[in-house]
Amino acid sequence: VPGVGHKYYLQFTTEDYRSRDSAGSCLATVLFEQGNSPPAVTISCVDTKDEKQIQEEDNKFYQKIKQQTKPIMANDIPDSYGNIEPALEPVWALAVVGSSKIMWEKSTENLSYSMAQVKSAKQWIRQDDFVEFDYTVLLHEIPTQEMISCHLRVIWLPGHPMKVKHFCASENQWFEETSGMESGSAAGILQEKEQNF
């Protein structure tokens, strides 16, 4: 678009991250204006996934976590051989969702990301209904091929938008925070993102 920037028209299909089953298709436009502001996006999707089944799985996982008296802690998911312990798969999946928020913020017309690995995961036990995890994740940045280390805090309750705070190694401050890291409290979370997990 002369004088404004680049506009992209996209038609794409989506699939489940793990199973590769089809999850729907979308139409979108993305407008990158000259300068580095996040792009303007319009999007509409047709979902083909089974809502009920997803809700059931979410609730099962949620119950298991809530029953924990000792906080879940883990490192290197997947491990060097690509293995993810079945019990830790949902912990990994929560990190994937949280990371997608970081990637959404950091991506530009020339830089894209994937989540390469969860270096560490630590659960914070909460008194209220929410589930909370602290992660260190590695994001693979293209085309620089760098691994960017990010600190990620995720607060979740099935049926609610996930709350995400993040801080990546090259940045100078926590994004969307009011008063720095607090342990186990929900205060200071500003930005939300709707996620069907």
Partner 1 sequence: DQVLHIVPKTLQQVQHLRHLCNTLPLDLWKPLLPEDISTGEDLHMRVPGPLVQEVKDSLDEHLISYNILEQDVGALLDQSVRRTGGSPRRGPAGYNYTQYHPMDEIYQWMTQVKESNSELVTLHDLGKTSENRTIYYLQISQPSNKNKKIIWMDCGIHAREWISPAFCQWFVKEILQNYKSDPKISRFLQNLDLYILPVLNVDGYIYSWEKERLWRKNRSPHMNGTCYGTDLNRNFNSSWGSIGVSYNCSSNIFCGSGPESEPETRAVAHFIERKKEDIVCYLTIHSYGQYILTPYGSTTKPPSNNEELIQVAEKAAAALMGKYGTSYQVGSTSSILYSNSGSSRDWAHMIGIPFSYTFELRDNGTHGFLLPEDQIEPTCEETM
3-state helix, strand, coil in the chain (%, to 5): 20, 40, 40
The rounded distance, in Å, linking the Cα atoms of 72 and 98 is 17
The rounded distance, in Å, linking the Cα atoms of 196 and 93 is 12
Q: Output the smallest distance, CB 135 to partner 1, in A.
A: 16
Q: Output the smallest distance, CB 159 to partner 1, in A.
A: 25
Q: Output the smallest distance, CB 123 to partner 1, in A.
A: 22
- The structure tokens listed for 129 are 């209904």
Outline where the chain has alpha helix (H): 51-67, 89-106
Amino acid identity of residue 73, one-letter, is M
Residue closer to partner 1 by CB (options 83, 178) is 83
Backbone angles phi, psi at 26, to 5 degrees: -140, 155
Binding site for partner 1 (CB under 8 A): 17-18, 78-84, 114-117, 138, 140, 142-147
Q: Output the smallest distance, CB 17 to partner 1, in A.
A: 6
Residue closer to partner 1 by CB (options 54, 84) is 84
Residue closer to partner 1 by CB (options 4, 142) is 142
Residue closer to partner 1 by CB (options 68, 114) is 114
Of 167, 170, 168, 187, nearest to 178 by C-alpha is 187
